[in-house]
Structure 1
């Protein structure tokens, strides 16, 4: 193709020209739309005052979420929003050879001065203060103030035991044991009314059938949540109450009442949750004594209760001996806490003079079922004497109050109980020996 003198002739592609025209048309349409939107909405317009257009402040939804209020309580390392630290220990088992050491000037006095058991309980205080809810096991009925009193086999112990339990800080007690019917309905009435008068919540034996179907709920004073407590005993020492509802039972396999006992315990646990309990614990009272291993009833009964899924913790007393801790089916079981306070037993039953105090930490979110679990168990071996004097005594390796028997013997007992506690494979990252000086 020839070139003109004004340069090379450029051949135009009609398709390119068409595309360019389309783009220009689209741009014109967009500009027109934007102009129309501004004309209609006039975002700069104010109220139309003579001073000209006013700017309208941009409104934004600036809701700030409320902060989560945590209630770690007295637990040392609460891993969630809320925690409840429950302290439990073994039987308050009082024989005449024990209470005679704490007599007042007049053991027939009815004003609370017949006995003074405060020195016996007092060393517990620092451990109770390091917990949220402390729960005792009241092994026996109590006498009227001023007596008469009675020891084994049909107990009727000084009521000043309950006075001192309240003063040291117990908020609740269970009392479904093999001695619950020792003094019949009158004994139950004396114990329950005395605990009521002292402000100690309680469950296990009852004055009315209606009461027997109600679970015990205890609100944590630190705000962490609500604890439900259920209990039951395998035996009443062959005694038969006037009504079966008098004492919570967990009778053995083969007993015609076994299934109904389990169902009643589960029903009470479920009712506790309906009434606001975040966690539910059950206390089992056994009768096979001085065993380092859990007996067949304890294991079978605890496993059956755990299989129901109704309980966050199962713990036991009655064997008068320290026993293993086990995690079964995601439920923690403390088989035997031994004795909290008791008289010396002869050498062949030396384990009677020892016990365990445990602080069980439940963690979760208050009011939210399904969030709660046992996150830690601190256990403490204990003795019934300090330097020959009856007094609750921690056998802790850190000796916050000095030795109980002697350095060597304390170490032997502590090691024996350590071996027992872990004999069923308890996870040592969860189950830990309690050394309170580390927390202080």
Structure 2
């Protein structure tokens, strides 16, 4: 009997141990499971991700010749100093209504310490620069036929002032090292713009030996090289070209040929000066099929010249869109706009730049017809050119 009981107890213990072993094994399996180990769940196939497209945009405005004759700076004198801001007050909202604005500073702002002078050897008050800054300009082109009028001293004084007011300048430099520092404006919108500037000559004044950095002369080899560098460092390349024949309202063949050359190099925009009158807007196709936007001449923006077409300039505006898609970047310059302007004054006093669409017949006889003629002239090659005619208020 005792032996039988012992056998029964042994069998019972073995069964208990066996059942415990199985449970432990099952727990081990459960603990080892992951979310993907449940055989009853079938993985859903993932849909391909939608292509992400990001667009970033800026606008750029450009104005023509700031050609400061003695009548203009005399009118800016107010017994305590020079103040050019009232002359730009009515156009400030249109200049500043852009991400970047560039002006052609035709006369060096060497300042009063050097002695002010006018044609044929210009030197202007430094307050001209202050007024441009106030109006919303943040880049100035300095390469033109008057760059060397008063020599290196005027250039160095002018550049020192541009640096003091934090204004980007291009086309004339204080040293070779300064010249090699490509001017690129980085915007908050993530679009970068390079600015280059060149002139056909310097009114016969020789460039000082070893100091070619004082003024960029038009040289196709240099231009091609600098455009190539600019395209690597910036999204958009804008060239200021001082060229053409004075007082001619249409570009000559040399202008067209040079614009075609820079378009073939991949320049995005060309801003022309020197004729002192407006020349039309156009699109030029480069050899790679790229489109280059050009305004052959922006005319005089502020000057003391007194013939009708020399009193007309404008604010040229265009837009840039940068599209990031599928690892690729595309840049598009598009939607050009133009605001014709008129320099109003009487007997050498009261200089004021006024949008032409705001002019009355009292300010300019037959104002409407003159305005319509300018619109037709500027848009003859680009019928879709938009003219800015909405009132803007100065928000500063």
Same fold per superposition (TM over 0.5): yes
**Aligned: 1:124 with 2:115:** no
Partner of 1:240: 206
TM-score calculated relative to the size of structure 1: 0.73
Whole-Å separation in 2 of the counterparts to 1:194 and 1:404? 40
**CA, structure 1 residues 225+60, in 2 after alignment: closer, same or farther (shift >3 Å)?**
farther
Partner of 1:374: 333
- In structure 2, the residue corresponding to 1:300 is in which secondary structure? helix
**CA, structure 1 residues 293+60, in 2 after alignment: closer, same or farther (shift >3 Å)?**
same
Structure 1, unpaired ranges of 5+: 1-41, 71-80, 107-113, 251-260
Partner of 1:389: 350
Partner of 2:315: 357
**Aligned: 1:417 with 2:374:** yes
Partner of 1:313: 269
Q: Kindly report the root-mean-square deviation, in angstroms, between the aligned alpha carbons of the 2 structures.
A: 3.2
Task: State whether residues 112 and 124 of structure 2, in contact with CA within 8 Å, keep that contact through their aligned partners in structure 1.
Answer: no
Task: State whether residues 286 and 318 of structure 1, in contact with CA within 8 Å, keep that contact through their aligned partners in structure 2.
Answer: yes
Whole-Å separation in 2 of the counterparts to 1:315 and 1:418? 18
Whole-Å separation in 1 of the counterparts to 2:104 and 2:227? 19
Task: State whether residues 280 and 311 of structure 1, in contact with CA within 8 Å, keep that contact through their aligned partners in structure 2.
Answer: yes
Whole-Å separation in 2 of the counterparts to 1:404 and 1:383? 13
Partner of 1:279: 236
Looking at secondary structure, tell me which structure has more strand per residue.
Answer: 2
Partner of 1:436: 390
Shift of 1:338: 0.3
Partner of 2:65: 91
Per-residue Cα deviation, 1:177-227 (whole angstroms, up to 9, x for no partner): 000011111111111111111011111111212222332111224x14011
Task: State whether residues 282 and 293 of structure 2, in contact with CA within 8 Å, keep that contact through their aligned partners in structure 1.
Answer: yes
Whole-Å separation in 2 of the counterparts to 1:439 and 1:104? 25
**CA, structure 1 residues 104+301, in 2 after alignment: closer, same or farther (shift >3 Å)?**
same
Whole-Å separation in 2 of the counterparts to 1:147 and 1:322? 32
**CA, structure 1 residues 136+56, in 2 after alignment: closer, same or farther (shift >3 Å)?**
farther
Choose from 149, 171, 174 the match for 2:141.
Answer: 174
Per-residue Cα deviation, 1:113-135 (whole angstroms, up to 9, x for no partner): x2011111222221133211011
Size of the aligned set, in residue pairs, is 354
Which structure ranks higher in relative contact order (CA pairs < 8 Å, sequence separation ≥ 6)? 2
Task: State whether residues 236 and 268 of structure 2, in contact with CA within 8 Å, keep that contact through their aligned partners in structure 1.
Answer: yes
Partner of 1:105: 79
Shift of 1:403: 3.7
Per-residue Cα deviation, 1:21-40 (whole angstroms, up to 9, x for no partner): xxxxxxxxxxxxxxxxxxxx
Shift of 1:356: 2.0
Task: State whether residues 146 and 202 of structure 2, in contact with CA within 8 Å, keep that contact through their aligned partners in structure 1.
Answer: yes
| Pairs within 5 Å for 1:17-416 | 46-47=30-31, 81-106=55-80, 114-146=81-113, 148-221=115-188, 223-242=189-208, 243-250=211-218, 261-275=219-233, 277-286=234-243, 288-308=245-265, 310-329=266-285, 330-345=291-306, 349-365=307-323, 371-385=330-344, 389-396=350-357, 399=358, 403=360, 406=363, 409-416=366-373
Task: State whether residues 314 and 334 of structure 1, in contact with CA within 8 Å, keep that contact through their aligned partners in structure 2.
Answer: yes
Shift of 1:306: 1.3
TM-score calculated relative to the size of structure 2: 0.80
- In structure 2, the residue corresponding to 1:416 is in which secondary structure? helix
- In structure 2, the residue corresponding to 1:120 is in which secondary structure? helix
